[in-house]
Structure 1
Amino acid sequence: MKKRLISSYDEENDTFVGKIDGERGYVADYGIDNGIFIGINKSNLPTSILVPNASEVLNTSKSVLESGDVKIGICCDEFCLKFSVCIEDLKIFSTKCKNNFGIPKINYEMDSNI
């Protein structure tokens, strides 16, 4: 499933925010790994991403995070959540954690270039 991503990066506060175009609000906000937060809607589907201290958490430079070419992948089953961030078609971050969030089995891509 592909969704259009609207992303922004605040260099001064080193904060990355991404949300799905057309989605408003969230029902729950989960910390999935080392300062990465996913907002979930009432259907338990991801609607937004927040990463404070983004250059440190994602281990990349602030100039890379300023790019508008961002793709975020979320792949889940009942046991595991895989999360990845690509900027300009280069994978800059990926992690895997337990799916303790009630997110259904999905293969979700949020892309700023749709």
Structure 2
Amino acid sequence: MDVLTHLVSTITRLALKLLLIAAAAVFALSLLCVALLSLAFVLLKALLTGRKPAFVTTFQHFNQARQQFKRGGWSAGPAGAGGFSPAGEVVDVVDVQAHEVRDDQALPYGPGADRR
């Protein structure tokens, strides 16, 4: 009788372990599918609208900042070398006239509509 009880408990434990492993695999695969579908949606939206996804532009800004700091930006140079110019380099300042650049197709009302 003891052998039979031990055999049944061993089979039950094995079945429960296999069931939990299968449930974990289904959960992991469902998360992977949701992630892939979300990525496909974001990329399709970016393709249709012509705008880069937010995470791409965020990482581009991080990479630009990293390159800027790698070149020596914000370094402690001489008193006259403030800003992003490397130490010892003389930079001419050019004054320009500012004007607004409009892209009428990017505006919600279109090129010939009333702009009130």
Structure-2-length-normalised TM-score: 0.15
Higher RCO by CA contacts (8 Å cutoff, separation 6 or greater) = 1
Larger radius of gyration: 2
User: Which structure has more strand as a fraction of its residues?
Assistant: 1
User: Which structure has more helix as a fraction of its residues?
Assistant: 2
